[in-house]
Amino acid sequence: MKLTRRGMMVAALVVGSVWGAGVAAAETVKVAAIYTLPVEQQWIGRIHKALTTAQERGDIEYVYSENVANNDYERVMREYAEAGHQLIVGEVFGLERAARKVAADYPETAFLMGSSFGPVAPNFSVFDNWIHEPSYLSGMIAGAATESNLIGMVGGYAIPEVNRLMHAFMDGAREVNSDVKFLVSFIDSWYDPPKAKESAFAMMDAGADIMYAERFGVSDAAVERGVKAIGNVIDTSGDYPGTILASALWHMEPTIDRAVAAVAGGTFEAADYGQYSFMAYGGGSLVLDPELVPAEVVSAVEAKEADIMNGLFRVNVNDAAPVSDN
């Protein structure tokens, strides 16, 4: 853990990772990505960033389609496979059966898909943003910061990928504050900032003085009401100065670089790449603002992070939908 010149603390340890090292390959790997949302959306943006980085290194040729509707996803997958792309990356939440059917029809093409389910041989691998560890750490910061002992949490959908991060955050807050309670809501959309903002306002009206911003729009509400927020997946502190206490960050590079290296080396097979989002692989990290977080809280977070990295503390994984406290 170290302090940057911006005064932000970033925790990321890369162990045995090919992230940043490039891919030793005789030829450039042709990669296509399919996104159901714009690349500006935070989750999609992390995948796009990792692929763009690999392209800039010369490891891959990269093309992508964004805002692809679910009912058009299968067609786009097939077109990319027919065009000879060696690796196809995307997210198949809500269209698992169709995506796996396409992969079965193109056994020589490697597929790496965000999914709630497992891999299937020979060529369908899965990943997810397993950033429950930094989420726990960000919860510690929120639990120490709240004065009303009420934290608001606005999520997209109550699916395992979201639920586990919210539960980890809640567990971290409870570690440092046994009196803390939570208001939880889901907007049933991956990208609806106005709806997320309205939900956040309702929670603040009920007394929440810290907001967990799983979706865009929540931090905007926090700025307007003068309360603090916790970020998710990306660091938005530059857009909301003085508001974002900390963020649990996702780094897709360790996942992408391993998949690209496997395709380049002819060793790609169906596997679950989820572990490469763990902090130990550099797939997750915490960033916080030491001007907003007291030094004693920073020290407590650093100690807990060290325990996580040394295998002395394991953040619980709970995929059940979180609910508001009574």
Model confidence pLDDT, tens digit, residues 32-60: 999 999 998 889 999 999 999 999 999 99
Count of beta carbons in the 10 Å neighbourhood of residue 270: 16
Per-residue confidence band for 94, with pLDDT thresholds at 50, 70 and 90: confident
Per-residue confidence band for 13, with pLDDT thresholds at 50, 70 and 90: very low
Alpha carbon distance 100, 92 (integer Å): 9
Task: Sheet containing 110-114: give its strands across.
Answer: 60-65, 29-34, 87-91, 110-114, 124-127
Closest CA to 287 of 244, 241, 254: 244
Q: Which residue type is seen at 126?
A: V
List, in sequence order, the alpha helices (H) in the chain. 42-56, 70-82, 96-105, 132-145, 160-176, 193-205, 218-225, 253-264, 295-309
Contact 273, 258 (CB under 8 A): yes
pLDDT at 7: 34
Q: Which residue type is seen at 179?
A: D
pLDDT at 9: 38
The H or E element that residue 246 is part of is strand 244-250
Q: What is the mean pLDDT of residues 255-283?
A: 97
Which phi and psi (to 5°) does residue 236 adopt? -105, 15
Q: What is the mean pLDDT of residues 86-114?
A: 96
Per-residue confidence band for 191, with pLDDT thresholds at 50, 70 and 90: confident
Per-residue confidence band for 326, with pLDDT thresholds at 50, 70 and 90: confident
Q: Which of 1-5, 12-16, 300-304 has the highest mean pLDDT?
A: 300-304
pLDDT digits (tens, 9 = 90+) for 128-176: 989 999 999 999 999 999 999 999 999 999 999 899 999 999 999 999 9
Q: Which residues pair with 182 in a beta bridge?
A: 151
Residues 6+ apart with CB under 8 A from 306: none
Q: Please count the residues of the chain.
A: 326
Contact 216, 199 (CB under 8 A): no
The count of C-alpha atoms lying within 13 angstroms of the C-alpha of 271, restricted to the half-sphere facing its C-beta, is 13
